[in-house]
Amino acid sequence: MRLELGYINIKDVQFGNATKVDKGVLYINKEELLKTVAGDDSRYAKLDVELAKPGEEIRITPVKDVIEPRVKVEGPGGVFPGFISKVDTVGSGRTHVLRGAAVVTTGKIVGFQEGLIDMTGPGAEFTPFSKTCNVVVVCEPVEGLEPHQHEEIVRMAGLRAAAYLGEAAKEVSPDEVKVYETKPLLEQVQEYESLPKVAYVYMLQSQGLLHDTYVYGVDAKQIIPTIIYPTEVMDGAIVSGNCVSACDKNTTYHHLNSPIIHDLYEKHGKEINFVGVIITNENVYLADKERSSNMSAKLAAMMGVDGVIISEEGFGNPDTDLIMNCKKIEAEGIKTVIVTDEYAGRDGASQSLADADPKADAVVTAGNANEIIKLPPIKKVIGHLDYVDVIAGGFSGSLKEDGSIEAEIQIITGSTNELGFSKLSATNL
């Protein structure tokens, strides 16, 4: 598959009479956006849109998802297939991207594992979304809505908003066009026969109870591991629907811009032959973990790869899936590198993963999520601040009377992202 991504750089976002992009500014007709977001769904008690820009004294919480506005310009399919567009295979043709803009969804808490984004101050250093021009959709449900329905309407609000804003880029000439291509497996292997063949094992959060990720609109806990083109991921085939810990949750924005996929493409044809992606789920029951890890190892062997990178989403229970994948793929004679984060206690002295194995001897870490941070009070809060004590990373007394916060960096959206979309890591000394 060959995908062209046309990047249109957004340096500012403002409300205006019409939704358009002009000289790097995204103008938004607020009334039209709200109408599009609401659709014909009667489960919204309140919808509003606010803007949050880099450097402003704004705190957004609790954050559900972050989505990058995009539009399909040429080729099959459309944005977010299975939700916004019909279920056509994406990953080829041309897609325009509003680079530097993001849709952030917030409102009353859905699950306790949600987070915050500070647009300035020490917290801003730990999240990539303090650097984006954010269109914040505040979504409040009608009374009596079940948590899974609440999550659904917030998810759809964000996807509709991103698709609506993406349309503004359809006729705009991109500032940069980048081309990504992965050929059918046998062709791809033959093209760079002398280079080591590398695949990416992409673990998707799918433990249920607000821990869900969607592939072409299907909950990933219902799938078995399968091979997809990297460009499908880059073109919106995977959508977040989970409320796991904010620090290592893969938002939809993360999926669209996975550093692992982008970095593998950068080395493709030079140092490695990047032959494809294996998507697999993270399960609750042992039998399901065994089944999925068995199949991931089998697919890696069938592809004939020399090495794989495995990334995790979440921590604790998924650590078992991570180590199972590592052990079984290594048993096939394939070298592995695992990407994770750590929960090593506030002093960094505790066991950092819930599972381990000698085969997991090549590890990239995104940092210790238990590390404590102090966030000063901030002028404006979009959303609800009173949940800080109960969301993951917070504790009784985290929210101070003056509006300041003392909590683990686990509370910050994207702070220890396990795709490497963050600033933290560690090294052996």
* Cα gap 234→90, rounded to integer Å: 9
Which of 139, 243, 247, 326 is an active site residue? 243
Interatomic CA distance for residues 26 and 341, integer angstroms: 35
Integer Cα distance of 389 and 386 in angstroms? 7
Chain centroid, CA 124 distance in Å: 18
Active site residue 243: yes
How many other C-beta atoms are found inside a 10 Å radius of the C-beta of residue 134? 26
Length of the chain as a residue count: 429
- Residue 333 CA: distances (Å) to CA of 197, 320, 329: 13, 20, 7
* CA 11 – CA 314 distance, rounded (Å): 32
Cite the active site residues.
243
